[in-house]
Amino acid sequence: MVDLYSQHLKIKTEIEEAINNCILNSSFIGGEQVNLLNENLASFLGINNVMSCANGTDALQLAIMALNLPKDAEIIVPNFTFVAPAEVVALLGYKPIFADVSETTYNISPESILENISSKTKAIVVVHLFGQSADMKGILEIAEKHHLWVIEDVAQSLGAQFIDIDNKPRYAGTLGHIGTTSFFPTKNLGAMGDGGAVFCNDDAIASKIKILANHGSIVKYNYQEIGINSRLDNLQAAILNVKFKYFSSYIEQRKAVAQRYNSILASANNKNIVLPQHNNSSPHTYNQYTIQIPFRDQIKNHLFEHNIPSMIYYPSTLSSHHAYNKYKTSATPNAEYLSKHVLSLPMHPELDEEQIAFICKNLLLGLEIFSK
């Protein structure tokens, strides 16, 4: 699905030098590389505060903790996504309310958010799925009207933009109140281990998050809040600072790979394949290249038999799981439909034309076989 080793070989010397420097300085927790990464991201995103932390799930947890919501608060999350948003909401004792997603972008839909708002709703966690921004214009209008906090999870879409009505492009994760991301190795900006970050423009929220991530303390052994321990290693930050130099070019390479997939699959002229949708207000950065296809499970096996990996993100709705089926859910037909039809193909900057052609050839062959 990804080829992290090929990517590494191209920057091996720089990475080794960065790691060696950390060892020479023996600064492992905190340190200048962590500060530099926070600054790099802040200036890239055009946001006032970036606080790196241990992983993307912690980033979401810190964001929600910082809001000090009442105990009976309901928080709207998408029903078609990775578990983290629902997990942290429930873990903190709040109620996740599962909303449906758009059938074209797979992102949480403003209409479904609206349907799920009650007097207890306090926040929305927007996940920008697969590399594409959700409809932030629609979502922010609703949030403003109903006085809701908006947390944006850009773990899969760091570097994706949302272009609003004024034609002003802004980075996903910087439009709501708090943005969160992950540096899990397979994300668009990936470390060699775990990592994450929270970002926001509001200085008061930022300092609260810093305190919460540091055992609730700003002055050593003085605890203002009940916090957690969530920090990014200096080593991981050093690795990320090297990769950050190539971050924009990695995204361009992902777009080129997607275009290649698109043109081969579109030329097959098979109406049964639904390609990733392009949307002028939210250009795709392709953390995943996800199609819809009939005979999905058979085709996945067929690809596997030809040594081609593929993945199902996500094979079921969150609300269908034992851990979450006790929470209230409106009907989420798109989330259900997508969980049965989506298939993600290999996607990474190093994927070459020959590999893409081979994947497409076998995919189309599989479709032909099972359509008979």
3-class secondary structure, 197: strand
Choice between 38 and 57, CB closer to ligand PLP: 57
Under the binding rule (CB under 6 A), the answer on residue 57 touching ligand PLP is: yes
- Residue 276 DSSP code: P
- Residue 109 DSSP code: P
The rounded distance, in Å, linking the Cα atoms of 294 and 317 is 19
Q: How far is the CB of 333 from ligand PLP (least distance, A)?
A: 21
- Residue 139 DSSP code: H
Amino acid letter for position 299: I
Count residues near ligand PLP (CB under 6 A).
14
Under the binding rule (CB under 6 A), the answer on residue 156 touching ligand PLP is: yes
Q: How far is the CB of 182 from ligand PLP (least distance, A)?
A: 3
Q: 126 to 155, contacts with ligand PLP by CB under 6 A?
A: 127, 153, 155
Q: How far is the CB of 63 from ligand PLP (least distance, A)?
A: 11
Nearest to 159 by CA among 124, 195, 190, 194: 190
Choice between 79 and 356, CB closer to ligand PLP: 79
3-class secondary structure, 183: coil
Q: 216 to 245, contacts with ligand PLP by CB under 6 A?
A: none
Q: 90 to 129, contacts with ligand PLP by CB under 6 A?
A: 127
Q: How far is the CB of 284 from ligand PLP (least distance, A)?
A: 15
Q: How far is CA 262 from CA 25, 259, 272, in A?
A: 47, 5, 14
Q: 74 to 93, contacts with ligand PLP by CB under 6 A?
A: 81-82, 84
Give me the helix-helix angle, 353-371 and 247-267, nearest 10°.
Answer: 40
Q: How far is the CB of 59 from ligand PLP (least distance, A)?
A: 7
Cβ–Cβ under 8 Å, residues 73 and 120: yes
Interacting residues with ligand PLP (CB under 6 A): 55-57, 81-82, 84, 127, 153, 155-156, 182, 184, 194, 196
